[in-house]
């Protein structure tokens, strides 16, 4: 059984026991969160597709980490003008472990 959930403006395919990194969600490590934007639930040959979400479906997950990603360098330059700019960015993320999918 797996589900398609939407969080942080992105869609993820999740199954029970999986770990994934999503955009920052408020909460502390060890807390439980519920993802209610479930777009689809697929269980073998049975598939429930939402329009846009599946009514009553939810995915329960546990927060396993709150951290920043690796540094991404942003470099800008204009030729022959002497303009150079270098920036770094580290995106916040939340590590989740999927506990259960209830449809």
Tens-digit pLDDT profile for residues 78-88: 999 999 999 99
**Domain count of the chain?**
1
Quote the domain boundaries for residue 64. Answer: 2-102
3-state DSSP assignment of residue 95: strand
Residue 103: the pLDDT is 81
> How confident is the model over 32-76, as pLDDT tens digits?
999 999 999 999 899 999 999 999 999 999 999 999 999 999 999
Using the predicted structure, report yes or no on whether residue 8 has a pLDDT greater than 90. yes
Task: Give 82's contacts (C-beta < 8 A, 6+ positions apart).
Answer: none
Task: Show the tokens assigned to 53.
Answer: 């979400």
Q: What is the pLDDT of residue 56?
A: 93
Integer CA distances (angstroms), 88 to 5, 71, 77, 84, 93, in order: 30, 6, 15, 14, 16
């Amino acid at each position: 059984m797996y589900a398609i959930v939407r969080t942080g403006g992105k869609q993820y395919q999740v199954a029970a026991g999986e770990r994934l990194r999503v955009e920052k969600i408020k909460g502390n490590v060890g807390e439980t969160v519920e993802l209610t934007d479930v777009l689809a639930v697929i269980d073998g040959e049975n598939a429930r597709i939402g329009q846009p979400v599946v009514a009553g479906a939810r995915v329960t997950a546990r927060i396993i980490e709150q951290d920043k990603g690796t540094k991404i360098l942003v470099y800008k330059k204009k030729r022959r003008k002497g303009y150079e700019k270098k920036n770094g960015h580290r995106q916040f993320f939340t590590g989740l472990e999927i506990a259960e999918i209830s449809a």
